[in-house]
């Protein structure tokens, strides 16, 4: 079940869902619009062979840029972070989507779930599928997070819990 505006406001007022900062236009008809934070990550190298199963940590593959503008080269991607720090209830998950206006420029995000009980800034991949360089600004609404009710309760216990700012991927050594 997708949670609508009134249910989202209720969860926030009860303190079960936390969004900080919370702007007047954050809560939408059927989700939350979140803003671009002050940093992003982009691959530091081109032409490198990346073997996630052989990496304990992949941070060295990325360059973190602190800036008021995010430059996304053609047919490339960046990792963006939300300005907002989000704390999800233990019975609500988020389905991350790019705002449709940005998708009309050729941007997309891969299917991404924000797990029940997750807490932190959300790092999300934004792919530029166009032949043009696209420049986004810090503070603009970019991510539409649709919240859905989960059956039962769970607590997120993953690596990214409590993350602040943009977070490059972990390595998958030991998982493959």
DSSP letters for 24-35: TTTB-SSSEEEE
Separation CA 174–CA 5 (nearest Å): 42
Residue 125: inside a domain: yes
The most confident of 12-21, 39-48, 150-159, by mean pLDDT: 12-21
Residue 109: inside a domain: yes
Q: What is the mean pLDDT of residues 121-131?
A: 98
Residue 164: inside a domain: no
CATH number at residue 145: 2.70.40.10
Residue 139: inside a domain: yes
Contact 80, 37 (CB under 8 A): yes
For the chain, counts of helices (H) and of strands (E): 2, 11
Q: What pairs with residue 85 in β-bridges?
A: 20, 121
Residue 84: inside a domain: yes
Answer whether residue 63 shows pLDDT above 90: yes
Structural domains counted in the chain = 1
Structural domain range at position 28: 5-149
What three-state secondary structure class fits 53?
helix
Residue 168: inside a domain: no
pLDDT at 153: 85
pLDDT at 90: 96
Residue 175: inside a domain: no
Q: How much is the pTM?
A: 0.94
The active-site residue out of 90, 125, 151, 175 is: 125
Which stretches of the chain are DSSP H helices?
Answer: 5-13, 100-103
Residue 140: inside a domain: yes
Q: How far is CA 95 from the centre of its chain?
A: 10
Separation CA 152–CA 72 (nearest Å): 39
Separation CA 118–CA 94 (nearest Å): 10
| 29 among known catalytic residues | no
């Amino acid at each position: 079940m997708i949670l609508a505006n009134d249910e989202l406001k209720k969860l926030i007022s009860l303190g079960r869902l936390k969004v900080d900062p919370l702007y007047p236009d954050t809560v939408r008809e059927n989700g939350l619009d979140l803003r671009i934070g002050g940093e992003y990550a982009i691959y530091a190298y081109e032409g490198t062979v990346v073997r996630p199963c052989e990496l304990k940590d992949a941070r060295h593959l990325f360059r973190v840029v602190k800036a008021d503008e995010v430059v996304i080269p053609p047919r490339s991607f960046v990792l963006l972070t939300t300005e907002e720090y989000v704390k999800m209830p233990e019975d609500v998950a988020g389905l991350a989507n790019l705002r449709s206006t940005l998708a009309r420029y050729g941007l997309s995000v891969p299917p991404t779930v924000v797990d029940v009980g997750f807490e932190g800034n959300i790092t999300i991949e934004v792919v530029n599928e166009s032949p043009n360089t696209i420049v986004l600004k810090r503070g603009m609404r970019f991510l539409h997070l649709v919240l859905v009710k989960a059956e039962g309760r769970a607590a997120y216990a993953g690596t990214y819990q409590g993350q602040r700012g943009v977070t490059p991927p972990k390595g998958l050594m030991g998982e493959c």
